[in-house]
Amino acid sequence: MIKKFAAAGVVAAAASGALLLGSPAYADNDTSGAGGLLSGNQAVIPVSIPVNACGNALAVLGSAGSRCRGGASVGHGHRYPIF
């Protein structure tokens, strides 16, 4: 009984993988121009958050130490047009 479930799971995984790999992914930044709630209108909002992710250490055998100096910064390199 468990072998049948495992075989069915393998077949289902293979079929869903074939469907996902066979279908194209459409990602466009064009809209239809029709205004309305959830009608394809887009708002491009650039967000920049300076975050320091350092000073973390993990030791399995022995001791571990880590040091960190802050100083994250954000440069405003690309401006997006707002329509």
25-54 tens-digit pLDDT: 666 656 666 666 666 666 667 777 777 677
Distance CA 28, CA 34 (A): 16
Is residue 54 domain-resident? no
Q: What is the mean pLDDT of the chain?
A: 70
What pLDDT is attached to residue 61? 73
Is residue 2 domain-resident? yes
Is residue 59 domain-resident? no
High-pLDDT (> 90) share of the chain, %: 0
Q: Is the pLDDT of residue 11 over 80?
A: yes
Distance CA 50, CA 55 (A): 16
Is residue 5 domain-resident? yes
Is residue 43 domain-resident? no
In which domain, by residue range, is 14 found? 1-25
Total tally of structural domains belonging to the chain = 1
pTM of the predicted structure, to 2 decimals: 0.28
Is residue 3 domain-resident? yes
Is residue 68 domain-resident? no
Is residue 31 domain-resident? no
Q: Is the pLDDT of residue 83 over 60?
A: no
